[in-house]
Copies of this chain bind each other. A is one copy, B any other.
Amino acid sequence: MKIATITSESNNTLKSIRALHRRQAREKEKLFLLEGTNCLAEALRKQIDLKAVVVSQSYLAEHLEELLDLELEKVSVVEDKIFAALATTATSCGVLAVAALPGKSKTGISNWQPRIVAIADAIQDPGNLGTLIRTAYAAELGGLILLKGSVDPFNPKVVRAAAGALFSLPIISDLETQEVIELLRSNQMRIIICQASASKRYFEADLTDSVAIVLGNEGQGVSTAMSEAADESISIPMNPGSESLNVAISGGIILFETLKQRLTVANS
């Protein structure tokens, strides 16, 4: 592993890293940032192409062995103070990488297995979307579709909260609602929306096969177009004194209900 020291804040790699905090730069350069040893290791396991790895001086001193384990070709070192201005979080552990955005998935949703997908209908909080990606992968979903209006899945906060699942779960993003409805119809998938007013409870619905579960925006819920296209509405019964659940939590409850149903059907 070669170690290079960068001393100037106007170094090109550092400039590029600072720019990649913004979506526009990520889309133009086809690059994104990832941070932390675990995330880096997971990216390498999934053959994500790392263009540069930058560490702080204290990270290098304390974690040299972990770094060597990653078998990187080259690492750049900067002073802790300079690193702090690159990091995407105030509590960064001191290592980040510039990575190539994965190409658009070549297989469409017709090849996703199992035929259980989640749809994020304009989820805007990056922590919520990242957690949802991590949860969808853990619940063994076939994939995730992000409708237009959702936060960029390569936003650094999404990358962090997704904890590696971003490189494993098939994701299609930036699709129009109408386009997705047609895609689901042509794939014979039932559209199931989660809505507080639905009388059918989530554990009463058949979620074992060919279903697309739509999770709505934090404030507005599921869009009107999606509601109108829905084959079924389900709700999570809860304390009437409680306003609602965080969307990542309601997603977790319903996506894991699909896994439970699949496991139970397989055993019976």
Contacts and interface: CB of A to CB of B under 8 A. Distances in A.
Interface of A: 127, 131, 134-135, 137-140, 161, 163-165, 168, 201, 203, 236-239, 241-246, 248-250, 252-253, 256, 259-260, 263-264
Contacts of A164: 243
A168 B246 CA distance: 17
Contact of A249 (B131, B238, B242): B131
Contacts of A236: 256
A260 B235 CA distance: 12
Given A252-B252, A253-B256, A256-B253, A245 B135 contact: yes
B246 A135 contact: yes
Given A237-B259, A263-B237, A137 B242 contact: yes
A164, A244, A252 interface centre (most CB from chain B within 10 Å): A252
Among A163, A201, A243, A256, max chain B CB count under 10 A is at A256
Contacts of A248: 131, 246, 248-249
